[in-house]
Amino acid sequence: MAGPLILGIETSCDETGAGLVRGHELLADAIASSVEQHARFGGVVPEVASRAHLEAMVPAVDRALAMAGVTLAQVDALAVTAGPGLAGALLVGVCAAKAYALALGKPLYGVNHLAAHVAVDQLEHGPLPAGVIALLVSGGHSSLLLVRDLVGEVVPLGATIDDAAGEAFDKVARVLGLPFPGGPHIDRAAVAGDPRSVSFPRGKYHDGTADFSFSGLKTAVARWVEAREAAGEPVPVADVAASFQEAVADVLTRKAIDACRAHDVGHLVIGGGVAANSRLRALAAQRCEAAGITLRVPRPGLCTDNGAMVAALGAQLHERGAAPSALDFAADSSLPVTSVLA
């Protein structure tokens, strides 16, 4: 097997991820999630997530090494999510990665979580061409980026002005009595629903910007459900889930394709947890095909947070000969998407 061996560590939210990549090849992706510990609170509790990372970190790295059939001593370089994310959660991964790097005497890259969501696609679909539009949709972020070069030039085109797309999924799920995190539950419930049964608002659809707004949609769903309940009528969960999901997928794909056209770009990459959504994937495929745009979306398991995505970005930086991060770099909970390296 060719290429350097890169260990990637991810702890920005509630997933403890350790991934191993050799060159452009994914060798191992070990994930421990604390999601069940947060479910009864209806959202990620930062302190609980940090403690869970502490317990899961070393076992996750050991599991990744075992999966790949390699030893720590064989690792050529490390990468860790430096931000954005929950400060305490990020710190656990950053401290662990620094300790491994120092002990092994190997270079460490403190990398951007959002860029890593884009980088991971290359493990499945090969190197990104120069010039792609990236639609990043997760629990904390929704943005459109013009990626001229993932490790060189990332231009933000627009972002949500209120809730992130994943946040809207999570909040609407709560309104519908579905468990946290809501995205996968809405996705499943929607299968049996009619996406045309309720016409929910599509925020900023016609405003010509690359920005998003999901707060009005979320409120509209809540009001619709409340009205049914007040009238003593049952809430058709599947129909509401399908109609809500349709509104989100419609706005996201339309704006992403508009951005491709505006910048004369022929490739769209979708990443982040919401990219696991089946309707978003299907609608994006349909609209990209009609527009002559090549769509790239990682398989669902690589869309949600994981260590492989961090390793993929680390491998790319290493391949380019980027200078590693100084060992005193800080975790930065609001690291801007334009900073690929901390």
Instruction: List interacting residues with ligand KG4 (CB under 6 A).
Output: 13, 138-140, 166, 169-170, 181-184, 187, 272-274, 276-277, 304-305
Give whichever of 140 and 324 is closer to ligand KG4, judged by the CB atom. 140
Looking at residue 299, the DSSP 8-state letter turns out to be -
Give whichever of 258 and 305 is closer to Zn ion, judged by the CB atom. 305
Count the Cβ atoms, other than its own, within 10 Å of residue 300: 15
User: Could you say which of ligand KG4, Zn ion, none residue 277 binds, taking C-beta under 5 to 8 angstroms by partner kind?
Assistant: ligand KG4
Give whichever of 243 and 304 is closer to ligand KG4, judged by the CB atom. 304
Cβ contacts of 189 within 8 Å, gap of 6 or more: 176, 178, 237, 238, 241, 242
Instruction: Determine the Cα–Cα distance for residues 240 and 247; give it in Å rounded to an integer.
Output: 11
Give whichever of 29 and 305 is closer to ligand KG4, judged by the CB atom. 305
Give whichever of 109 and 169 is closer to ligand KG4, judged by the CB atom. 169
DSSP string covering 163-192:
S-HHHHHHHHHHHTTPPSSHHHHHHHHHTT
The alpha carbon dihedral of 7, 314, 276, 143 has a sign of: positive
Min CB(183)–ligand KG4 separation in Å: 2
Min CB(235)–Zn ion separation in Å: 30
Sheet containing strand 132-137, edge to edge, reads: 153-159, 142-149, 132-137, 267-271, 294-296
User: Could you say which of ligand KG4, Zn ion, none residue 252 binds, taking C-beta under 5 to 8 angstroms by partner kind?
Assistant: none
Cβ contacts of 30 within 8 Å, gap of 6 or more: 17, 18, 19, 60, 61, 63, 64, 67, 307
Min CB(285)–Zn ion separation in Å: 22
User: Could you say which of Zn ion, ligand KG4, none residue 187 binds, taking C-beta under 5 to 8 angstroms by partner kind?
Assistant: ligand KG4
Min CB(91)–ligand KG4 separation in Å: 16
User: Could you say which of ligand KG4, Zn ion, none residue 140 binds, taking C-beta under 5 to 8 angstroms by partner kind?
Assistant: ligand KG4
Enter the tokens of residue 142: 């929704």
User: Could you say which of ligand KG4, Zn ion, none residue 243 binds, taking C-beta under 5 to 8 angstroms by partner kind?
Assistant: none
Give whichever of 15 and 258 is closer to Zn ion, judged by the CB atom. 15
Min CB(139)–Zn ion separation in Å: 7
Min CB(38)–ligand KG4 separation in Å: 11
Helix axes 165-175, 182-190, angle to 10 degrees: 70
Tell me the three state secondary structure of residue 71.
Answer: coil
Count the Cβ atoms, other than its own, within 10 Å of residue 209: 13
Min CB(186)–ligand KG4 separation in Å: 6
Min CB(289)–Zn ion separation in Å: 27
User: Could you say which of Zn ion, ligand KG4, none residue 211 binds, taking C-beta under 5 to 8 angstroms by partner kind?
Assistant: none
Instruction: Determine the Cα–Cα distance for residues 282 and 115; give it in Å rounded to an integer.
Output: 23
Enter the tokens of residue 134: 């990236």
In the block, tokens 């350790």 appear at 18
Give whichever of 60 and 70 is closer to ligand KG4, judged by the CB atom. 60
Instruction: Determine the Cα–Cα distance for residues 335 and 133; give it in Å rounded to an integer.
Output: 20
User: Could you say which of ligand KG4, Zn ion, none residue 304 binds, taking C-beta under 5 to 8 angstroms by partner kind?
Assistant: ligand KG4
Give whichever of 98 and 117 is closer to ligand KG4, judged by the CB atom. 117
Binding residues (CB under 5 A) for Zn ion: these are 138, 305
